[in-house]
Structure 1
């Protein structure tokens, strides 16, 4: 438990105009789901095949149910059933780039959870107004782990295992496709005695976490070239919640501008979406790989880089590097835009012709 470095976010609010806030991911899920009609959400559905033609798109699920629509968005991960179905179709007709047919690179396995309320007397700093965030890197180990205090005297924790070989990645791919709470036992047995800076062990945090609040995911490492074909779209994958929300906003803006659901109009909208997102995702993908090596890396060179960057890189250089990713902040074009609050230069957003037209109609007086 030797301290390696202290990371600071000095001047961040001045740059972006907002404080950094820390909260558990299930709270974000609940916030989003509170805005969606419950009958529109279906659970325990596994896509096994897709079909699409000039009239629409269809998915067949493992329970025998089928669903139809004008557009199919495969936002179900890197091992997406939608992606596999579409790529098989494209491969049969020779339209799938060879790079998209390759397996993903070796990556990381991540187990995460949020505890029930804990006793602050046993975990110093747990009830503070400012979150305590700790990242622990195992010594000569494939594991690293973290613990963040969040409101309600709870701790969000994770354990990350760096996969050493491609064969390990293929095996974990299969395991993750059949994930359920009972399959995490072997990993828990390996990490339960790891110490945390709050006091106690990871095992104690896991024991204080409801089973349905524990997830185990495979963090993949690949940027696909093929994002859409026909009526089917595959958003960028494996880049976390921020990119997922940016994907959703950019896609919603493109769909909002659709004047019809004809194949040509849909293809045009999906291509506009990719044109906006691909370069941004590519940049974030490269940054994500570097960050993963700094935070989780176990090789000698990764340890050296971590020591030098976290202890000797000037704060001004760190701030400049972080502000680069803050410039891209898409907003829903069908809502009033939020004004910039910080000093960071924000990339301009293309205005919505439809929204401007509707606002003009709304504000115009009718004269008879």
Structure 2
């Protein structure tokens, strides 16, 4: 039985976008929140780009991030251009431009590290982020939760939130289906984590992420150099590129602010990999560069495929690569005083433009229900249940859409490829893409119009 004392101190495990957004939201509501991140320090080059959607922008403003800071790191997108095999133009749409006019919120490409910096800065100033703090065990009782760090230090909090991603270790402490992957810790009632994948599935697919600096300079590939276009090329995996904002840290050759460009290429691969190696391997540019060169050499890309120029122009140290893993959408997000957020609960394959935005929405909703519980003295488990009720169906639909998109994009048969190209061309040019984007945004827990007015 868990008693219902007020929520005064919250431990957030994971210093990604979702965890930092939650900490910002909680502190804004007067709750003492601290983030525990396994990385040794903040890196301005870690991670890739993402598309910040109007719902994500509205939620960031709702937790106190100024709109001008968001606009500083986001490069506006207007068009979607779809290219099929042999460089054939399939469709072009002004979908993002229409969304800009409809919602009047920042919408475009940004570096993950830039948003991490924006979210982390005020938290770090108050010493609320604890680097090199890998949580290896948790235990809970009627009064709170104890997290044990790899260093042996123990952290005590009223509740603990697992925002530690697709390979969430915190999930093992709350999911009865993972009991076989747990062994008891030295403390009664606690668990020590095993380095296992749990219900994750390796998708036999790898993704390369690269960042091109000085993207204002001319490109040989006309579409690749279009500053306001999301380019998608479908031959031999999926290639996507889009512009990134003139960031807070990026500098051009002459020392001034630069516009960057992010590109992504998926590739099917055989074999297996070790999950514990992924966290460091993704941050090994030399290893990723060798793998990318080998992939391009063995793949029959046409001469004008954008991957060729993108690989040539990728900035030193700005290439990463890691396997794609999926986690089934979880039905159980919380147990006692422990709850999940973001990819730990609903990891989304990289085939929609909403995964990270869903994590920001989670942070807004969870902070609201916890603040209400703190004010009313309601039980913690009731607050977690309310959060799950609000978020479960919406995130499940997002995960399902990503899986459907993945099935279509991963087709290998020549006949199916031609059918796929025709279908996707019609989706992009016929307004279906616009409808799908709007449908995802309309369920935002924040009133987008109110956020715009504010």
> TM-score when scaled to structure 2?
0.61
1:195-210, aligned counterparts within 5 Å? 200-206=308-314, 208-210=315-317
Q: Equivalent of 2:451, from 334, 338, 342? A: 338
- Maintained 8 Å contact 2:199/2:327: no
Change (3 A) 1:297 1:127: closer
In structure 2, what is the equivalent of residue 365 of structure 1? none
CA distance in 2, matches of 1:102, 1:51: 22
Q: Is 1:265 aligned to residue 401 of structure 2?
A: no
Deviation at 1:50, TM superposition (A): 1.2
In structure 2, what is the equivalent of residue 226 of structure 1? 332
Change (3 A) 1:338 1:187: same
How many residues align? The count is: 323
Deviates more, 1:301-310 or 1:249-258: 301-310
- Maintained 8 Å contact 2:223/2:231: no
- Maintained 8 Å contact 1:247/1:277: yes
1:270-285, aligned counterparts within 5 Å? 270-285=384-399
Q: Is 1:5 aligned to residue 86 of structure 2?
A: no
Change (3 A) 1:332 1:209: farther
Q: Deviations over 1:49-108 (max 9, x none)?
A: 111111111222223333221111111112112112433797379xxxxxx964436364
- Maintained 8 Å contact 1:112/1:157: yes
CA distance in 2, matches of 1:17, 1:122: 30
Identify the structure with the greater strand proportion.
2
- Maintained 8 Å contact 1:249/1:332: no
SS at match of 2:174: helix
Q: Where do 5+ consecutive residues of structure 2 fail to align?
A: 1-85, 183-196, 247-257, 349-354
Change (3 A) 1:23 1:77: closer
Deviation at 1:277, TM superposition (A): 0.5
RMSD: 3.7
In structure 1, what is the equivalent of residue 145 of structure 2? 57
In structure 2, what is the equivalent of residue 363 of structure 1? none
CA distance in 2, matches of 1:77, 1:6: 34
CA distance in 1, matches of 2:217, 2:89: 25
Q: Where do 5+ consecutive residues of structure 1 fail to align?
A: 94-99, 342-368
In structure 1, what is the equivalent of residue 213 of structure 2? 116
Deviation at 1:31, TM superposition (A): 1.9
- Maintained 8 Å contact 2:166/2:326: yes
- Maintained 8 Å contact 2:91/2:426: no
- Maintained 8 Å contact 1:107/1:218: yes
- Maintained 8 Å contact 2:329/2:399: yes
- Maintained 8 Å contact 2:147/2:155: yes
In structure 1, what is the equivalent of residue 275 of structure 2? 173
Q: Is 1:132 aligned to residue 229 of structure 2?
A: yes
